Every structure is written in structure tokens, then in C-alpha cells.
Amino acid sequence: MKEVKIGILGLGVVAQGFLEMLTSQKQKIEAQKGIKLIVSKVLVREGEEKTTIANKYGFELVTDVKKITEDDEISIVIELMGRVHPAKEFIKQALENKKHVVTANKDLLAQEGLELITIAKENQVGLYYEASVAGAIPILRTLATSYFADNIQQLTGIVNGTTNFMLTKMFEEAWTYEQALQAAQEAGFAESDPTNDVDGIDAAYKLIILARFAFGVNLTLEQLTIQGIRQIHPLDVSGAQQLGYTIKLLGSLIKKDHHLTACVQPTFVPDTHLLSSVKNELNGIFLKSDGIGESFHYGPGAGALPTGTSVLADVLTIVDRQLDGSATARFNPYQQPVHLEKDPEKTNAYFISLSPQIERKISEVQAELQTTFPKTIAQVQEATNQVALYVVTEQLTEAQLAELLAELTNYGEHHQPLQLMEV
């Protein structure tokens, strides 16, 4: 039976999940593929104690990456260290030494992916990264294969489990943002510094990768509109509940003609939409296309076994392509000219919660607003023992929204405008 030797960079949670899945699926892989996958070496930090794990799975621990990247017997390198550096340098070494690479490193791929893809192509090896987006959901491979013959119009998804967990608790348990963040950190979903998650940066990195597969375009972080969840107010939550919505941090890519809008932002999602049912740390991606129509992809967005399973699927894809002679094929060859749209006339519908000044009568505020801005619907609601005014707009341009917000300052303190999802 043919043996394929693997080297792993890093031995954290995901790496251990991969090892567990490889062990549990060993007989199935050998019976169906006729090959034996062997993890021969794993890179760890100097002084890091991982002997028990190494003994359990039977591999050698090394602290010098060259013992993996320059080992002629190793044909596949799996990078599961995280962060951009030194992961980029290590992957580059592996590719230049003619080794196929599998990684789950979304930050690296979003920022430096094009360079690494070019290096892989030059050295006629594969670079695969299904686990970099949405954990166990095979969305990248689906986009690269099942949607190859289709024209995607829209991709909208919940791709950050930390913020989805927090928003779920804010809705179902009436927790504040601070309470939800603390719970997410205690559960291990959020880092001690949660900036990348709560400010939408993590979701933006994943959206950049998704844009390459869905639309063949290469975006940078600076080109995206990014807004996180720090400013979600309890009045926004109660307003959404009373109006039949939930709030989700959505990453959206919408193509019209040859123009693309790309954004990450908290959004009012109708309770009737499938994305509203995605709760806690789970992920969900909604697609709309010419041929297939509407489809929905749902599952764990993180975790040792789900992510490890996606890594293993990439390894098996490489093995299959080695066997049929197509191992150098790019994971995603799709590229086309699409331009980001910055249309000043583009419109959106918004929800704005307002704590009115005590001396003003709510009925007067409603009447004045609907006279000044006929594209608004103002509703009075009782929320957390205080009167709140909820303003729901029809389609407004950014200029019209700014005009409305300036007007609202005359009536009280308004909170961050939240878009209503296009359906």
C-alpha cells in the first residue's frame, strides 16, 4: 500500500482534531483510496511539552521547520499555527521545496494569499484552504465545483461564530454586549482581545476569500465596508424583536451587472429568513444564483473536529489529484474583472432606535418626522422600562440617511443605524 507522509506545523486544538479524525477514518481511507496517510513530523515551539500527544499518534516532534520543509519523504505540509508570521515564511519554504500545502489560516490567506498561490503555481504544487472559512462547511469547494457552471448574484453569510454566539445571547437571554462578550471569552469562543471578532475584521478576512471563489475578484480589507457589533444597543434588540427581526453580523457580496458591493455589518434579518435561525457559534451562508436559485449552507464554523475534518478533506483531495496526475491544479482558478461599486445613489432601508427627550411629546416627534421624511415610519415602543422611538425607513441614499440622522438629533439620542436585509 502506498504511503503518503505528512508534516504538521503547530500542535494546537485544530491539529489535534485533525489527528483524531485521521485516526478514526484510517481504515475507511485505506480501503477506499488504497493509500496510508502517515503524520511523520510535527513542528512545536522550543520547550513546548507535547510528548504525550506525539507518543499517542506516533510522530516525531521537531523545533526546526526545515526538518519538515526539507524532508524529501514528506509530500504534504499542513500549517495550523495561525497568525500571518512566521506562518507565511514557513508555507513559502514548503511550497518552494515542492510540497503541497493545506492551511486553515484565514488571516494569512486574505492578506498574503495571492503571493502564496503564485508561488504554489510556479512550483507546480497545490495550496488548499477549505478550513479557512466557515469551519466544517465545505463552502469553498462547493463554490469552486458546484457553482462553476452558474452565475452567482449574491452571497450573504454569518461567518464569525463568536459574534453570532454573542448576538444570540443578547436576543434570547437579554444580555448586554458586555455580558455576552464575557460569556464568549469564558466559553473559549473569544480571545482576551476580541477586536478582530467584534469589529468585523475576522468576518471581513473570510469575505475576501469567499469573493475570490464566488466572483473571481481579489479584494483588500481597505476596500470593504466594515462595521462591528460594539454599538448594538439594547433598544436595537428589543426593537428587532417587536418588529419581527433578529440582528446578525452579516458578510455580504452582491453583484449587479459588473459591479460588486462588499460589506460586513450588523443587519436586521427577518425572522422568516433562514439566516435568522443560525444561532450560537454556528455559521450559515445564503447563496442566490441564476441556475440553482437560492441555497443555504449551514454548520459549525469552528472547533477541533469540524475544522480538522475540513483539513483532512483537503489532504485527501491532494492525494486524489496526485493519483490522477492533476495535483498541481489550483484550488480556485476563477478570475474575472468585477469592480467594487461606490454608487452614491445606492439605497438601503434602515432601522434607528431613538431615546426621545422627555420634554417632547412622542406623537409630535412622529408627526414631524413623517412630514419631514415621508420615507420613514416612526413607532413608539416600551423597552426596558423606557419609552423608545423606532424609526424604520424605506430606501434611502447615504446622503438622505445623513440628513435624517442630523434631524433626529433634535429629538433625542439616536443609536447606530442598522440596515434591513435585502430579500
Domains of the chain and CATH, by start: 2-135+304-324 (3.40.50.720), 147-300 (3.30.360.10), 350-420 (3.30.70.260)
Let me know: does 384 contact 241? Beta carbons within 8 Å: no
Distances (CA, A) of 344 to 69, 138, 400: 50, 36, 10
* pLDDT for residue 384: 46
Handedness of CA 172, 175, 177, 180 (dihedral sign): negative
> How many angstroms separate the Cα of 412 from the Cα of each of 318, 363, 400, 404, 415?
60, 14, 19, 13, 10
User: What is the DSSP track for 358-423?
Assistant: TTS-HHHHHHHHHHH-TTEEEEEEEETTEEEEEEEESSB-HHHHHHHHHHHTTTEEE---EEEPP-
Contact yes or no for 61/51 (Cβ under 8 A): yes
How far apart CA 177 and CA 148 sit, in angstroms, is 41
Residues 6+ apart with CB under 8 A from 312: 18, 21, 22, 25
CA distance 323 to 316: 11
Q: Judge contact between 137 and 144, C-beta under 8 A.
A: no
Tell me the C-alpha to C-alpha distance, in Å, between residue 286 and each of 96, 145, 168, 290: 37, 17, 19, 14
Which residues are CB-contacts of 293 (< 8 A; sequence separation ≥ 6)?
A: none
What are the tens digits of pLDDT across the range 68-107? 999 999 999 999 998 999 999 999 999 999 999 999 999 9
CA 210 to chain centre: 8
pLDDT, position 383 = 47
Q: Which residues does the annotation mark as catalytic?
A: 206
159 CB-near residues (< 8 Å, 6+ apart): 133, 134, 203, 206, 207, 210, 251, 283, 285, 301
- From 297, 274, 279, 306, select the one nearest 166 (Cα to Cα): 279
C-alpha to C-alpha distance for 189 and 184, rounded to whole angstroms: 5
- Tens of pLDDT along the chain (423 residues) come to 889 999 999 999 999 999 999 999 999 999 999 999 999 999 999 988 899 999 999 999 999 999 999 999 999 999 999 899 999 999 999 999 999 999 999 999 999 999 999 999 999 999 999 999 998 899 999 999 999 999 999 999 999 999 999 999 999 999 999 999 999 999 888 888 999 999 999 999 999 999 999 999 999 999 999 999 999 999 999 999 989 999 999 999 999 877 889 999 999 999 999 999 999 999 999 999 999 999 999 999 888 999 999 999 999 999 988 777 766 678 888 777 777 776 677 889 999 998 776 556 667 777 888 888 888 887 766 544 456 788 999 999 999 999 999 988 888 888 999 999 987
Under 8 Å between Cβ of 224 and 262: yes
Fill in the DSSP letter of residue 63. S
Q: Is the pTM of this model over 0.85?
A: yes
Question: Could you say which DSSP state residue 109 is in?
Answer: H
CA distance 249 to 141: 24
Closest CA to 356 of 384, 385, 390, 406: 390
Give the Å distances, CA to CA, from 205 to 149, 165, 256, 323.
26, 19, 22, 33
